[in-house]
Amino acid sequence: MSLKQGDAVPANTIFKYVPVKLNDTDSLTCPAPVAYNLSKDAEQSKKVLIVSYPGAFTPTCSQTHVPEFLEDANIKTVLAKGYDKIVFLSANDPFVLQAFAKALGVDKDETKVKHVIFASDTYAEFSKKFGLELDLTKMGLGIRTGRYAMVINDGKVSYIGQELGGDVTVSGFKSVLQHL
């Protein structure tokens, strides 16, 4: 099954995440994960940008793909276009993702703390359901979320940019910006 432009956000699409608190730089702080209900936001016609990446603290994800979206000017651009949330999605567990968010400085910016979520696609279930996973088992890394971006407007998917190779092109900020 694939998810394509014009499709409604599937019911019961819920991800777990550990909220990042402003100025909480302690990477050992571990509150319990909470649910982020993408379906509910979609039903309320909220605009959501999903940026999926294979893994926290990996070279391309840490140095290029995710940081580009987190640049102050780029966050402001996305929010100015009416987006309520930017969800960074990975198959890593919620605790690792909170530490990754802190390492990228999300905890130092009130706007990012309010609008950015680093959520876990546990076992890459959501990504696998729609053919958006990345199989890295031969490298010892298992099944991961693929590298893709998804734009959600009025409860529907308005853009999916899935990377088929190792580069960041259709899921990068400049490409996604054209579809916001």
In a domain, 25, yes or no: no
43-58 in b/e burial notation, b at 16+ Cβ within 10 A? eeebbbbbbbbbbbeb
Q: Which of 124, 152, 156 is nearest to 52 (CA)?
A: 124
In a domain, 91, yes or no: yes
**pLDDT of amino acid 1:** 64
Any idea how long the chain is?
A: 180
In a domain, 3, yes or no: no
Catalytic residue among 48, 56, 61, 170: 61
Cβ atoms of 145 and 52 within 8 Å: the answer is: yes
**pLDDT of amino acid 25:** 76
**pLDDT of amino acid 54:** 95
In a domain, 20, yes or no: no
In a domain, 37, yes or no: no
pLDDT < 50 stretches in the chain: none
**pLDDT of amino acid 30:** 79
- Rounded CA gap, 100 and 112, in Å? 14
**For the domain that residue 114 is a member of, what is the CATH number?**
3.40.30.10
Domain range enclosing 114: 46-177
Tell me if residue 30 is catalytic: no
- The residues, ordered by sequence, that sit 6+ positions from 105 with a Cβ below 8 Å of its Cβ are 70, 112
